[in-house]
Amino acid sequence: MSKRSSAASLLPLLCCALPAFAEVPDAAPATAAEERVREEEIVVLGTRRTRADATLSSDLATETMSQSSRSIERDLLSAAGTYRLSDALELVSGISNQNNRGGVMDNFAIRGFLGTPDGGAEYYVDGFLANRGMGPPRDPATTERIEVLKGPASALFGDIDPAGRVNIVSKSPGFDPAVVATYSYGSFDTRRVELDANLPLTQTLAARLVVATESSDGWRDHVGLDRSVVAPSLTWRPSDTVRLTYVGEITRFDTLFDRGIPAIAGDANALPRSRYYGEPNDGPTRFRNLRHQLTALAELGNGWSLNGGVAWRTGTLKGFSSDQSRLVDDRTLWRQRRSRDFKVDDLSARIELAGTIGNHRTSIGLKGYVLDYAERWMRRNPTAGAPYAIDVYDPVYGQAPPTLLPFTNNREKRRSGTLYVQDMWDVTDRLTLSGGARFDAYRQRIRNNNTGVVGQTADHPLNFRLGAKYQATQAISLHGNWGENFVLNSGTDRLGAGFAPETGKGYEAGIAGRWPGLDLAVTWFDIRKRGILTNDPVDSNFLAPVGDLKSRGIEADAVLKLGRHWQLVANYAWTHARVDDRSFPTDEVLNVPEQAATLFALGHFLDAAGRGLSVSGGVSYVGDRAGSLETDVVLLPDYLKAEAAVEYTFSPRLTLRLEADNLFDAHYAQSSYSRVWIYPGQPRTVRLSVRVAA
């Protein structure tokens, strides 16, 4: 598909879509709708320094109807030392780590529901799906906040499912000049430099540039890391009613492809966590990603607004690997040689009209995207005569790699459009009802370039959602949500056939309390989905759909402010997720613990000039999880991990920080794909940083 035809297919949206504005401290006065968002906004973890922008952040219905949703702000992200997306998501209940695809993607499950094991869980950046097909690990330097949107709610995120979604809000320009540079050095010879420069160009135009680069020898033998990101952005505010923003992002991520370690006699932690079983001579796998985004918000008067935008993303993933394939006699590890050559071209747009009619907050939106995704794999399976093996106790590298043979060579093209409507009705001062409908029309085409076989699907499903919130007292409220979901699946199975879409239904019900200094929410959920992809029990090199995956559980989240100095963030989740499909030898779900909890504390002891000491620390508990789907299930044991940091601000211009992750050096398995692909948790890591502001 050419760029010209891709753009033409989205022309109805592009013609309507206005560009977006990221809020700044001296932003224009808020509209009535924005003032209401302030009063009932999503629970904030940390301190929100800028007002949320409707074109980049979650919509009002999500914030008010799903009271288990949370927004993790920039100051808490920094205090918690979130160098990976998984670090940040520990601060919210019900999220578990999943297979990281050899270290080249972010992957997680929400409420027991995982994304594709190969492609990972889908997440948004500024309201646009950011890793459709594939996407590199996110760099923390570009992030202003992370919104974890729970439950079957949302208009702007029209394809949210009954479990929830993650939306990452980018840093964007403000009208106060500021330049901040940070240098960090830590364990494993890790060096990191960040520059964040904000510059007002005129009274209506501002620019921002975020640059970060990191290099590390890594804590896994031979597995280093080199990554960098450059993120320029511009905001134009020609009037108090029109705001436009461009955000760009250029990402480079290079690392040796790493499948972790195998389990020995069912023990996921039997081998040294640093030991690498690939081939260093394979060289780095290289991820390149380019994103351009143009968004806007226009206030139309009388409580009505129009917002929308366009995003275009391209990316490539290329490299070789020697992946564990089979463990013989608990010592000899056969390996499979692979090469990867993936390309993605994703063009999307959205437009939403929202406003108030009496006691109704109504919105109607249109979304669409055109995806061109190519996966080209080559591989060579081991045999008894040519095992390409390595000794797990005494690895020797440098074997001549076997000649690769054609494996998967698919080209997938999608065109999809979504129309959604939503209404939130304040029936009384205490009762609010919400409902929405989503109509999708899509066409998916996958061509197997090895065989010439083409598979095509097209459909136009209609899904609904309902919600209610009741303010029982000034402090206590009850909520309930029910909804359906529909998500397209990529790829083909071991027989070369494509997959049907993922569909699901679920509900949640909860109680929330807000008192001075305390936010507390407890939510019960029950969700069932069909068509979720997981490892094929016949051949783990391929994927297979689960007949049914059912998950129910209880989540509790709390934020407590103690006086002027302390803030505590705590969460707990009990998740009972099970597969109902007799073709799988077990009903366990990969990497989903039945119990998990986190407690994090942050204390500031600063004088009137902002000088002084800040301390933070926390512990995370993750329960037992299934590490494989074979008949003899490998168990990933439970673990407790701690972190701590101390920071001293000498002046508004100079800050020093010392932090340690996995403070007590716990030995644990973080996630798994199969019994021979278990990714160990990172050992104790210490970092020293200096931050200079101009």
Residue with token string 């129309």: 419
Give me the pLDDT at residue 629, please.
80
Give me the pLDDT at residue 582, please.
78
The closest of 73, 80, 74 to 660, measured between CA atoms, is 80
Task: Find the mean pLDDT for residues 144-167.
Answer: 78
Kindly indicate the confidence band of residue 22, based on its pLDDT and cuts at 50, 70 and 90: very low
The closest of 269, 127, 128, 308 to 666, measured between CA atoms, is 269
CA–CA separation, 627 vs 276, rounded Å?
Answer: 19
Give me the pLDDT at residue 151, please.
84
SS3 62: helix
Give me the pLDDT at residue 494, please.
73
Q: Where exactly are the structural domains of the chain? A: 45-693
Give me the pLDDT at residue 41, please.
63
Q: Give the mean pLDDT of the chain.
A: 88
Tokens of 493: 């199975």
Is the pLDDT confidence value at 482 over 80? yes
Task: Find the mean pLDDT for residues 622-632.
Answer: 88
Please give the backbone phi and psi of residue 78, each rounded to the nearest 5 degrees, phi first.
Answer: -70, -45
Is the pLDDT confidence value at 71 over 90? no
Is the pLDDT confidence value at 48 over 80? no
Is the pLDDT confidence value at 4 over 60? no
Kindly indicate the confidence band of residue 654, based on its pLDDT and cuts at 50, 70 and 90: very high
Is the pLDDT confidence value at 213 over 90? yes
Beta strands in 623-665 (DSSP E): 625-626, 635-636, 639-651, 654-661
How many CA atoms lie within 13 Å of 466's alpha carbon, on the beta-carbon side?
1
Kindly indicate the confidence band of residue 95, based on its pLDDT and cuts at 50, 70 and 90: very high
Task: Find the mean pLDDT for residues 82-107.
Answer: 90
Range scoring the smallest mean pLDDT among 114-128, 198-212, 478-492, 610-624: 114-128
Q: How many CB atoms lie within 10 A of CB 213?
A: 17
Give me the pLDDT at residue 429, please.
94
Task: Find the mean pLDDT for residues 314-337.
Answer: 96
Range scoring the smallest mean pLDDT among 142-151, 224-233, 390-399, 611-620: 142-151
Give me the pLDDT at residue 19, please.
31
CA–CA separation, 205 vs 198, rounded Å?
Answer: 11
Cβ atoms of 628 and 608 closer than 8 Å: no
CA–CA separation, 97 vs 100, rounded Å?
Answer: 8
Is the pLDDT confidence value at 27 over 50? no
Range scoring the smallest mean pLDDT among 12-26, 552-566, 622-636, 668-682: 12-26
- H-helix or E-strand containing 64? helix 60-65
Give me the pLDDT at residue 394, please.
96
CA dihedral 540, 544, 546, 547 (to 10 degrees): -130
pLDDT digits (tens, 9 = 90+) for 568-588: 999 999 999 998 887 777 888
Q: Three-state secondary structure along 584-653?
A: CCCCCCECCCCEEEEEEEEEEEECCCCCEEEEEEEEEEECCEECCCCCCCCEECCEEEEEEEEEEEEECC
Task: Find the mean pLDDT for residues 601-616.
Answer: 93
Kindly indicate the confidence band of residue 633, based on its pLDDT and cuts at 50, 70 and 90: confident
Residue with token string 């994304």: 115
More confident: 502 or 25: 502
Is the pLDDT confidence value at 601 over 60? yes
Query: Which stretch, 44-53, 141-150, 180-189, has highest mean pLDDT?
Result: 180-189
Give me the pLDDT at residue 499, please.
77
Kindly indicate the confidence band of residue 11, based on its pLDDT and cuts at 50, 70 and 90: very low
The percentage of the chain sitting over the pLDDT mark of 70, rounded to a whole number, equals: 89
Task: Find the mean pLDDT for residues 526-555.
Answer: 82
Kindly indicate the confidence band of residue 53, based on its pLDDT and cuts at 50, 70 and 90: low
Kindly indicate the confidence band of residue 289, based on its pLDDT and cuts at 50, 70 and 90: very high
pLDDT digits (tens, 9 = 90+) for 339-362: 999 999 999 999 999 999 999 999
Kindly indicate the confidence band of residue 12, based on its pLDDT and cuts at 50, 70 and 90: very low
Query: Which stretch, 121-130, 154-163, 363-372, 537-546, has highest mean pLDDT?
Result: 363-372
320 Cβ contact list (under 8 Å, min separation 6)? 257, 282, 283, 285, 337, 338, 339, 340, 401
More confident: 368 or 494: 368
Give me the pLDDT at residue 52, please.
59
Give me the pLDDT at residue 585, please.
78
Please give the backbone phi and psi of residue 123, each rounded to the nearest 5 degrees, phi first.
Answer: -140, 160
Task: Find the mean pLDDT for residues 59-67.
Answer: 69
| Residues composing the chain | 694
Task: Find the mean pLDDT for residues 257-277.
Answer: 96
Give me the pLDDT at residue 386, please.
95
Task: Find the mean pLDDT for residues 446-473.
Answer: 90
Cβ atoms of 161 and 152 closer than 8 Å: yes
Query: Which stretch, 12-26, 109-123, 217-231, 539-553, has highest mean pLDDT?
Result: 217-231
CATH no., domain 45-693:
2.40.170.20
CA–CA separation, 143 vs 124, rounded Å?
Answer: 12
Cβ atoms of 220 and 276 closer than 8 Å: yes
More confident: 608 or 10: 608
Kindly indicate the confidence band of residue 20, based on its pLDDT and cuts at 50, 70 and 90: very low
SS3 89: helix
Is the pLDDT confidence value at 2 over 50? no
